[in-house]
Amino acid sequence: MQVSIERCHHCGACVGSCPKNAIYLNDLVLLFNQDCNRCGRCVKVCPVAAITMEAKA
């Protein structure tokens, strides 16, 4: 996942949407831990489109 720190308003919608509890919100950035399975729920609920799926290599 990629997060645009310029767009993110730290609303927490993504944190609440994660079924794996893999997203952590701190004062500066969103952090995704190893439990993230790239389900995309956080991308869908972000009201400002700050989270995107990064391209697979």
Percent of the chain with pLDDT over 70: 95
Mean pLDDT, rounded, for 2-8? 91
How does the average pLDDT of the chain come out, rounded? 91
- The pLDDT value recorded for residue 29 is 82
Per residue in 14-40, pLDDT (tens digit) is 999 999 999 998 887 889 999 999 999
User: Residue 6 in contact with residue 28, Cβ under 8 Å?
Assistant: no
Six token digits for residue 12? 């927490």
Predicted model pTM:
0.85
Nearest to 5 by CA among 20, 27, 21, 34: 27
The topology (CATH level 3) of 2-52 is Alpha-Beta Plaits (3.30.70)
